[in-house]
Amino acid sequence: MKKLGIGVVGFGWMGQTHSRSYRRIPMHFPERAFEPELVVCADVVPARREEALRAFGFREAIPDWRDVIRHPGVDVVTITAPNSLHVEIVEAAAEAGKHIFCEKPVGGTPQQTARAEAAARRAGVITGVGYNFRWAPMIQYARRLIGEGRLGKITNYCGRFFSMYGSDPLGLLSWRFLRGQAGYGASSDLLSHSIDLAHVLVGPIARVVATGETFIRERPLPKPGRGTHYDRGAPDDPTGSVTNEDYVGALVAFANGARGVFEASRTILGPESQNAFEIYGTAGALTWDFQRMNELQVYMPDKAASHSGFTTVFSGDRYPHHGRFVPGAANGIGYEELKAIEAYEFLSSVARGEPARPSFADALEVVKVQDAMLRSWEHGRWEDVGPVRDAAP
């Protein structure tokens, strides 16, 4: 069995999630053609490095990510560092001939994503990106229904990602709220997932008109080395300015003629983690919400007048990969199972020497839409989706 040495850059919550996923692969995917090995982890926080060795089984844990790239035992570099560091790490890994998995959106701006994609493409390495929601079994089923024409011609799409993680004005000013470290805000952190799902289910977007806003402009400063976007400060703590957007909304025209609406907000009150869509066609409709990720609402009327309204379809082992984690129907799986599926699919592509999906090329298609949205709210008009412009405003 082919051994694949894994190096992880950044061992916060997401780095730990990816590391658990790699460890779970042998337990859930016995027919795999590879053996993942956690070789080395890089993080600037000593306690995280100690945890990587003690709890996760990494052979080494180091402070400098460059040593991950140089490590002879590393075949795949997984990047879960802050967005502003993505491009430099991607370029170094690509030059070293390492295959690369990077958390979305691959950089913090469309220009950075385009630069990373170009570097990996020139190097000929296999890439993956963390658009894990597309692996939800009910998303895969929705894709099948649409592909089979069961919804008829798609006419309307509504995509949204509403999260409360930034709704508390005392939520700390983590890197996610800073343009210099995260790049853009809700349009990168949240809406990118919505755009990716739309691309998977309906197809490319041709034109957009958009708007954005920052609703909470000051936040308490975190203490050095401590504090995430889920942590809270005190009313008398010193504050700093939020430098990217809390909200983005857009009307879009798909290349196939469908029309759509997108919204994302990190400061809204009510929805905890509502990554959701509604798809309407001439023969039926589908709705899905990550907060109830093991359910798909399906509307496919028959000729009986008494049959009307949505039907709930529960996920289960008859849908892709669900049965690897739990048998039967309506026995739910969760977020980390999607990351385990994502890891398996990516490493399977690496083991076969074939391009993976979603790849940096898919990430580039997402940021082309984001770039058009940014241009639209800057200029106040409809914009065509096309190549990413050379420089951000």
Closest CA to 384 of 371, 372, 366: 372
| pLDDT confidence of residue 286 | 98
φ, ψ for residue 127, nearest 5 deg: -125, 155
DSSP 265-293: ESS-SS-SEEEEEEEEESS-EEEEEGGGT
Residue with tokens 């997402």: 366
pLDDT for 226:
59
pLDDT at 391 over 80: no
Average pLDDT over residues 209-214: 98
What tens digit of pLDDT does each residue of 225-238 get?
556 677 898 999 99
* Rounded Cα distance, 381 and 377, in Å: 7
Structure confidence at residue 55 as a pLDDT band (50, 70, 90):
very high
Structure tokens at 158: 């509504």
pLDDT of residue 304: 61
Complete domains list, the chain, with CATH? 2-132 (3.40.50.720), 137-292+294-333 (3.30.360.10)
pLDDT at 299 over 60: yes
Phi, psi at 145, each rounded to 5°? -60, -45
pLDDT of res. 223: 77
Report the interhelical angle of 13-28 vs 335-352 (nearest 10°). Answer: 70
127 - beta bridge partners?
100
pLDDT of residue 307: 65
Distance of CA 146 to the CA centre of its chain: 22
What does the pLDDT read at residue 164?
96
What pLDDT, in 10s, does the model give residues 101-160? 999 999 999 999 999 999 999 999 999 999 999 999 999 999 999 999 999 999 999 999
According to the model, what pLDDT value does residue 230 have? 74
Please state the pTM of the whole predicted model. 0.95
Residue 209 reports pLDDT greater than 60:
yes
* Model pLDDT, residue 224: 65
> pLDDT by residue (tens digit) across 337-374?
999 999 999 999 999 999 999 999 999 999 999 999 99
Percent of the chain as helix, strand, coil, to the nearest 5: 35, 25, 40
- Helix or strand run (H / E) with residue 41: strand 34-42
Give the pLDDT confidence score for residue 215 in this predicted structure. 98
39 band by pLDDT with thresholds 50, 70 and 90: very high
Among 132-141, 173-182, 190-199, 272-281, the range scoring the smallest mean pLDDT is 173-182
Helices (H) and strands (E) in the chain, counts: 11, 17
In a 13 Å sphere around the CA of 312, the CA atoms on its Cβ side amount to: 8
- Cis ω for the linkage preceding 358 (within 30 of 0): yes
How confident is the model at residue 308, as a pLDDT? 80
Closest CA to 105 of 173, 171, 194, 12: 194
What pLDDT was estimated at residue 305?
60
Q: How confident is the model at residue 97 (pLDDT cuts 50, 70, 90)?
A: very high
Check residue 31 and report its DSSP letter: T
Average pLDDT, the chain: 95
- Residue 37 confidence (pLDDT): 98
